[in-house]
Amino acid sequence: MKKQAEKYVLITGASSGLGKETAHKLATEGYKIFAGVRKQEDKESLEGLNPNITAVFLDVTSDESVNKAFETISALTDKLYALVNNAGIALAGPVEYIPVDILKQQFDVNVFGAIRVAQKFLPLMKSQEAKIVNISSMSSYGNFPFISPYCVSKRSLDMFFNSLLLECKMPDLKVVSIKPGTVRTPIWDKSLAVCEKNMEFLCEECKKKYEKEFDFLIKNARKNNDEGLLPKDISNLVSKILKCKNPKLSYNIGKDSFAARILSLLPQWVINALVKYSLKKRIK
């Protein structure tokens, strides 16, 4: 237990959902957890769950915030066993009209935020068992209309970190991508609120043209809160990966995630035809 207790893990986006569940799960197993939060109430809530959790203020979109978090953590340990990049948002809209500023917001959190944190904390990842675990998505396969910002950000996340694995002169570093299917997580409520706000700024032509699609997006997002995997399913997988000496590069979890992977193996024109047919049947 002593050896396990000395293993420090940083989890971004730990205020709720997958991040919070993973922090609690790993803390109960003896890991020392640094949980990234942005609000004082979230810090108090997390630290009240388990004495092995130390919440640190961490906004992955801010260099200043990441630097301060590094100072806080490096004052407590010079070795980070694992980094779990969980912070993320899901934005939506038709490619034809979606403002570039929304795309930038999506990438700043899901892609640049993860890279920003990894670059800063890699010097602490000295252990021969060091691991970076990215919470990606089945959406990284790219076949989900109207949530293209989210899909592309998750594909980019996977590609950037695979490049890190190829380039980095840390032969023992393991980089793992978890691609969950639909998960019951607050990300949908939070992202839905952001999307509805963003849609207010779309032109009237866009709103009229894609009215049925917007209704479908909202209903589907709310449905995702009630169906699919539980956050503990993902946290259990993260725990398994951290214990594994040689984890796989990528893990699918959830029937829909495996289906998305299989679909991605087909020729693109076949995928497009199937997705368009399915969308037409669901949007009425």
The residues that are catalytic are: 150
Residue corresponding to tokens 């956050």? 231
Report d(CA 44, CA 31) in Å as an integer.
19
Report d(CA 125, CA 81) in Å as an integer.
6
**DSSP letters of 80-139?**
--EEEE---------TTT--HHHHHHHHIIIIIHHHHHHHHHGGG--STT-EEEEE--GG
b/e burial code for range 38-67 (CB count within 10 A of at least 16 → b): eeeebbebbbebbebbbbbbbbbebeebbe
The secondary structure of the chain in percent helix, strand, coil, rounded to multiples of 5, reads 55, 15, 30
